[in-house]
Structure 1
Amino acid sequence: MALQIHYTKTHFSLTMLHNTTLSSNKVSALRGGLGTMLLHSNCISDKQCDSCFFSDECLVQRIMYSKFDIKPAYITTGESVGYILECENHKRNFQKGDLLEFDLILFGKSIIHFSQLLQALFSLGQSGLGANKAHFSISDIQNENGKNILCNGNIIMSNYQPHMLQSYVEHRLTEFPYANELSNVSLIFHSPTTIKYQGNIQQSFHIEAILNSIARRIEMLNYYEGKPISGKELIHNIPNVIKQSSYAEEVNRYSSRHKENIKLHGITGDLLLSNVDFETLSLLLAGELIHIGKNTSFGFGRYTVVPQ
């Protein structure tokens, strides 16, 4: 039942309309741009969010800083669990006609806001992305199975298909020939991962911290849908770490909300695990989709599980 979490994953292709330069951190630019466009079309209080009488019902707040149906006591920040932006393209110089591709994952109640986010992206293309106001058109939108959501300028909402995290895990398990036996797997971290464990931000990978982070994330997404569960009950076994490599990474982003530059820290790398049982493999595969650690809305904490 813990993996009965609704999600959609949508792939976007943007075509640059002129030669331009973008920052290496595309997720921050996209997230900030989408938030700005949503404010332009919805805000009635001159963007004074902290003092706004309507903040509890604000569409922008509901999309960008998701409200839990049941809020766990440990949630003290405004970080959203409702969406993830994935874009690991660090290219800076784009020519007219070049593509910028990214994925948008929506969870739970946020799934219903796809149309508002799509309209915000369309407006962002007209207004311009990033400091250089790079203009773009939306050339393609596909669902998780490669079906077109955008076709000849029309949006086909029937192809915008919500799925369950459980179904994702079950599909991925079919790609592991020894899933029902103790086996070896590798975790490959593609984006910076920031995990706080036992009071400290991890400087290298610890499997206990990774499993706890996955379980906490599943717990939070269930709370977001109004289903209180205990994430600790999802951890049944701790695999052995045979070897690992980790590298510190720093991502710079500008926060339009706080009007300042912020540095986000994390680690990338990989680790090889042994004695991975079926329950642990299922948990690790769930973490692939939902990401782990802090700053997941910026694409942090993405990894894949590879059989060995």
Structure 2
Amino acid sequence: MTTALAVAKYRFRMVAASEIVLPEYKGSAFHGGFGHALRKIAPSWYRHLFEPGPPGNGPPHTASPPGNAWPKPFVLLPPLDEEHRYPKDHPFECELTLFGPAIQYYPICHAALEYLGATLGLGENRGKFRVDGVDIARIDPAAVGSAPIDHAISSTEIASARQGVNTRRLALHYVTRLRLKAGNRLHREAPPFPMFLARLLGRLNTLANLYGDGELIQHPQRSELQQRAEQITIEQHDTCWDDWSRYSGRQKEWMKFGGLLGSVTYVGDMAPFLPWLALGEWVHVGGKSSFGFGKYEITPDHQPA
């Protein structure tokens, strides 16, 4: 990995100022509310985050990805609890991850979330909340002391944190809905590892190409990894497809946002893939990632080398 993508993850600690009524998946309310607030207070910044596109005089590696579909330079992860109603004074958290140049937009993102809570309101009843504080994530959650709020972590640092792990069994737990496509169709079963890896490496390269220093993994290494991925098999899984619909205020129609939930255990020599899987924990994988979809956690089976 010779190039890098800067990543910064912020955990917003919030408290309900009045009752808040939320949908089944809170990501729709948070994503829509965040976008609405941002467009109200800073329309130009809204376009940078929600309608990204080629810069006027960008470097060559910022050419549009296939299909001209620029991924948004952020992931907004909503609270993951199962509560649909937050009573007054109920604490909750959401996470905002920014990529590359978007990290400089943190202050306006913070202001937008404060405006959402104090003025616009959240959920079906426009419940109000306040932002009580913000923490910035680190690679080592046990690290003591505070980091500067604009502290970014490079993709190289995230990947290297997994070095030294030797495992032949690894579980991926899909915390939020995973939406991977095979051809033009959503894959509704536990994904074979080569498919999962291909989508992950594609997302990492696209993000780094558009918002970083260029591709994280070059074609020869990527081809080698894909060949090795063919040796990885699924030992067990408990995945299920979970359908969910949301109304898009921008498109004025109901949209289906189903995805896979559960866990998949892969068996084989997983060591070469761990750095890339570690990066995926930070950037998510699959469709609708800016809504918080595609979040997974890896659970390696630590064994002596």
Q: Same fold (TM over 0.5)?
A: yes
1:187 alignment counterpart: 172
2:14 alignment counterpart: 14
- Kindly state the Cα deviation for residue 134 of structure 1 after the two structures are TM-superposed: 0.7
Partners in 2 of 1:256 and 1:115 — Cα distance? Answer: 26
2:155 alignment counterpart: 165
Letter in 1 for 2:159: V
Partners in 2 of 1:117 and 1:107 — Cα distance? Answer: 13
Residue segments in structure 1 that go unaligned for 5+ positions in a row: 44-57, 148-155
More deviation, 286-295/198-207: 198-207
- Residues 180-236 of structure 1: CA deviation (Å, up to 9, x unaligned): xx5211111111111112443211122111000111011111111264436653352
Partners in 2 of 1:37 and 1:199 — Cα distance? Answer: 33
| 2:104 corresponds to 1:112 | yes
- Kindly state the Cα deviation for residue 26 of structure 1 after the two structures are TM-superposed: 1.7
Letter in 2 for 1:110: A
- 217, 220, 223: which is aligned to 2:203? 217
State how many pairs are aligned.
280
Q: Is the 8 A contact 1:241 1:272 kept in 2?
A: yes
Query: Structure 1 residues 21, 184: closer, same or farther in 2, change over 3 A?
Result: same
Residue 59 of structure 1 aligns to a residue whose secondary structure is: helix
1:254 alignment counterpart: 247
- Kindly state the Cα deviation for residue 255 of structure 1 after the two structures are TM-superposed: 1.8
- Kindly state the Cα deviation for residue 93 of structure 1 after the two structures are TM-superposed: 1.4
Partners in 1 of 2:178 and 2:104 — Cα distance? Answer: 28
2:282 alignment counterpart: 289
State the identity as a percent: 20
| 2:73 corresponds to 1:85 | no
Partners in 1 of 2:295 and 2:218 — Cα distance? Answer: 19
Partners in 1 of 2:29 and 2:218 — Cα distance? Answer: 33
Q: Is the 8 A contact 1:17 1:137 kept in 2?
A: yes
2:49 alignment counterpart: 63
Residue 160 of structure 1 aligns to a residue whose secondary structure is: coil
Q: Is the 8 A contact 2:16 2:129 kept in 1?
A: yes
Task: Indicate the RMSD between aligned Cα atoms, in angstroms.
Answer: 2.3
- Kindly state the Cα deviation for residue 73 of structure 1 after the two structures are TM-superposed: 4.2
Partners in 2 of 1:269 and 1:173 — Cα distance? Answer: 26
- Kindly state the Cα deviation for residue 20 of structure 1 after the two structures are TM-superposed: 3.2
Partners in 1 of 2:254 and 2:182 — Cα distance? Answer: 26
Q: Is the 8 A contact 2:64 2:70 kept in 1?
A: no
Residue 75 of structure 1 aligns to a residue whose secondary structure is: helix
Partners in 2 of 1:215 and 1:75 — Cα distance? Answer: 17
- Compute the TM-score of the two structures, normalised by the length of structure 1: 0.83
- Residues 128-187 of structure 1: CA deviation (Å, up to 9, x unaligned): 11221110110121011479xxxxxxxx9933311112212222446x3x2xxx521111
Partners in 2 of 1:114 and 1:73 — Cα distance? Answer: 25
More deviation, 255-264/223-232: 223-232
Letter in 2 for 1:4: A
Q: Is the 8 A contact 1:85 1:299 kept in 2?
A: yes
Q: Is the 8 A contact 1:188 1:304 kept in 2?
A: yes
Residue segments in structure 2 that go unaligned for 5+ positions in a row: none
- Compute the TM-score of the two structures, normalised by the length of structure 2: 0.84
